[in-house]
Amino acid sequence: MRRAWWHSATFKKWDHLYSLDVRWEIPVVSWVSTSIVERVDLWRTCSWLRHLGIATRDVLILELDKVPPGGTPGEPLPPFDFRWSVPDHPDDVFLERLRTARPWPRARYDRAVSLWEQYVDADPSRFVRSCTRGVEGFPELAPLWTFLSAFFPRRTGDGALRLSRFDELLLTILSGECLTPLKVHVHKSQAGDELSQWLSATGDLFLADRLAQWARHGSRAVERGAGPRRDVKMMSSVYRLTEAGRRLRDNGLQQLSDAPALPIAGIEAYASSSPWVVAEGGQLVRL
């Protein structure tokens, strides 16, 4: 999902590691924190190294513990771990982990490869079952599905289709007033506080791209105008909610294509070719 949204040089550099042009020397050392983003990247790494024929015994996976939480006491935290990455740990932790490094057991490595295959599959049902039932050695699965499910359209108990929770929050913050993506990101409201939790995992550029997709979409739910800073993506455009957007937010969808498609792992949410929705109770179902 990140690569579909973020095209920065940084992520192109990391994606280049998964190229046949790159020559790997053993042992391969992979560092990973408790961040759900890094955990998914680890599955991808295990899958790619196996594709290259590198044996499990030649891959050292160094798992880092969660960093003690900081911030304001009582500050609400999202139900998934995204805040800490490998660079947040001190050098002495790296050295100690490296000194005691061992390959993962073959069975656990196999499960990581399988999770990546499920994650990028065009049928996400098997992956979601793994998340809800759990897989030994991968505690990130339940919070990961909590995160991902916020980007799928929803179906109510009476069969009505609603926007994803993320898009609902987005259109709730937008109003007749023109707002830059930056002002949406820092909006002082209950919806703004919840939206910030998801953006802390996706990054703020995800918000700017999603607003642009809404503005280009045929539903005409969101209008776009020139922003105050054309050289800054989070300020280069302003957006406002139209009356069509209010109806969509408040009354729901007549069909999935009423909202712009959104790439998630191996599928696109809102696409007629992959009509997956989150039902009441959090299950992913196909229409």
pLDDT value at 48 more than 90:
yes
Burial class, 239, CB count within 10 angstroms (exposed 0-12 / middle 13-18 / buried 19+): buried
Phi/psi-derived region of residue 264, left when phi > 0, alpha when psi is between -120 and 50, beta in every other case: beta
Is the CB of residue 46 less than 8 Å from the CB of residue 112? yes
pLDDT of residue 68: 56
Burial class, 226, CB count within 10 angstroms (exposed 0-12 / middle 13-18 / buried 19+): exposed
Name residue, tokens 């095209």: 7
Neighbours of 201 (CB within 10 A): 18
pLDDT of residue 73: 45
Domain boundaries, the chain: 18-67+76-150, 159-286
- Count of all residues that appear for the chain in the document: 287
Per-residue confidence band for 5, with pLDDT thresholds at 50, 70 and 90 = very low
Per-residue confidence band for 149, with pLDDT thresholds at 50, 70 and 90 = very high
Mean pLDDT confidence for 96-111 = 92
pTM: 0.85
> Which of helix, strand or coil describes residue 46?
helix
pLDDT of residue 3: 46
Point out the least confidently predicted range of 27-36, 165-174, 260-269. 27-36
222: which residues sit within 8 A by CB, 6+ positions away? 171, 174, 211, 214, 215, 239, 240, 241, 242, 245
pLDDT of residue 47: 96
81 or 250: which carries more pLDDT confidence? 250
pLDDT of residue 101: 87
Name residue, tokens 């609400």: 76
pLDDT value at 33 more than 90:
no
pLDDT value at 277 more than 60:
yes
pLDDT of residue 12: 55
β partners of residue 231 = none
Backbone angles phi, psi at 279, to 5 degrees: -85, 170
**Could you give the C-alpha distances from 275 to 93, 99, 136, 262, in angstroms and in order?**
45, 48, 30, 12
- List strand residue ranges (DSSP E) for the chain, in order: 28-32, 59-63, 154-155, 161-162, 222-226, 237-241, 262-264, 267-269, 276-279, 284-286
pLDDT of residue 71: 47
pLDDT of residue 230: 93
Supply 278's token pair.
């989150």
pLDDT value at 131 more than 80:
yes
Name residue, tokens 């500050």: 75
118 or 83: which carries more pLDDT confidence? 118
Identify the H or E element spanning 171. Answer: helix 165-173
Listed residue (137, 177, 154) closest to 283, CA to CA: 154
pLDDT digits (tens, 9 = 90+) for 235-254: 999 999 999 999 999 999 99
Buried-state track 145-179, b at ≥16 Cβ within 10 A, e below 16: bebbbbbbbbbeeeeebbbbbbbbbbbbbbeeebb
pLDDT of residue 69: 54
pLDDT of residue 35: 85
Mean pLDDT confidence for 71-79 = 51
